[in-house]
Structures are given as structure tokens and as C-alpha cells.
Amino acid sequence: MEDFLITIYNFAKAMHIVSVIAWMAGLFYLPRLFVYHVEVVGSGNETDELFQTMERRLLKAIMNPAMISTWIFGLCLVLTPGIVAWDMVWPWTKGLSVIAMTWFHMWLAARRKEFVAGTNTLTGRRYRMMNEFPTLLMLVIVFSVIMKF
């Protein structure tokens, strides 16, 4: 298995980066859709159905596969011998940040279900504030990996 991981290391790294870019795009865009959904669209009309369709497709067709492939290729990188120095802080801060990013993804999925059920209680302001969360996590992840604290 170790030989296989070493052989595919560059491929796994490239796929991990592509997956992260797609996942981050969704994590930035879905909360913005929620802002517009709350502030402009409302519920129970044709535009509400359109927004629900856009939100569902973004989550199911882009974000979920991107999150899964981010995890798969990230684990391939982590398990490649000689890549991660576990006695340093950076892999732990990155790992915790990725777990937090995954929690945020699931939080967004739960909010989407509230829109479908017509039970959303959050304001556009709250969604705007939550939209900053993946940015903070991204900064921690990038600086952890590049600076290797």
C-alpha cells in the first residue's frame, strides 16, 4: 500500500487541490444563496422553488462529491510515508480545521432542509456572518500547511 501511495502522490495532491477548490466554491456560494433566499425570495412561490433547486443541486452535485474527494485524496496524502511530521502542530491544526469545515458543510445541508420544509428562522445577516467561517478555516489550513508551524 505504501508503494502505491508513493506512486500516486502527485496525482493525489493535484486531485486534492482541485477537490478543495470545488468544495470551497460551494461553501462560499451556498450561504450567499441562502442570504438572497431569505431577503429577496421568501417562501411558497415559484422563485422559492427555483432557489431550492439551485441549492439542492449545488449541495448534491458539487459540494458533496467535492467534500468526499477532498477527504479521500487528503487521506491518501496523509498516509503517504514521509509526508506528515506528526510531532509538529500543523497537521493537527489542519486536521481540526478540516473537521470544522466538514461540520459547516453539514450545517449548511441542515439549513437547506429547513428551507425545503419552510421552517428557516435564520436571517440574511446570520447567513452573511456564517459565510465568513469557511474563510477563517481556509486561512488556518493554508497557513498551517505552508508555514508548517
13-44: pLDDT as tens digits: 999 999 999 999 999 999 999 999 999 998 88
pLDDT of residue 62: 98
What crossing angle do the helices spanning 9-36 and 90-117 adopt, rounded to 10°? 40
In whole angstroms, give the CA distance from residue 75 to residue 68.
Answer: 11
pLDDT tens profile 52-85? 999 999 999 999 999 999 999 999 999 999 999 9
pLDDT tens profile 106-144? 999 999 999 999 999 999 999 999 999 999 999 999 999
Dihedral-angle region of residue 120 (phi above 0 means left; psi in -120 to 50 means alpha; beta otherwise):
beta
Average pLDDT of the chain is: 96
Distance in angstroms between the alpha carbons of the first and the last residue of the chain? 29
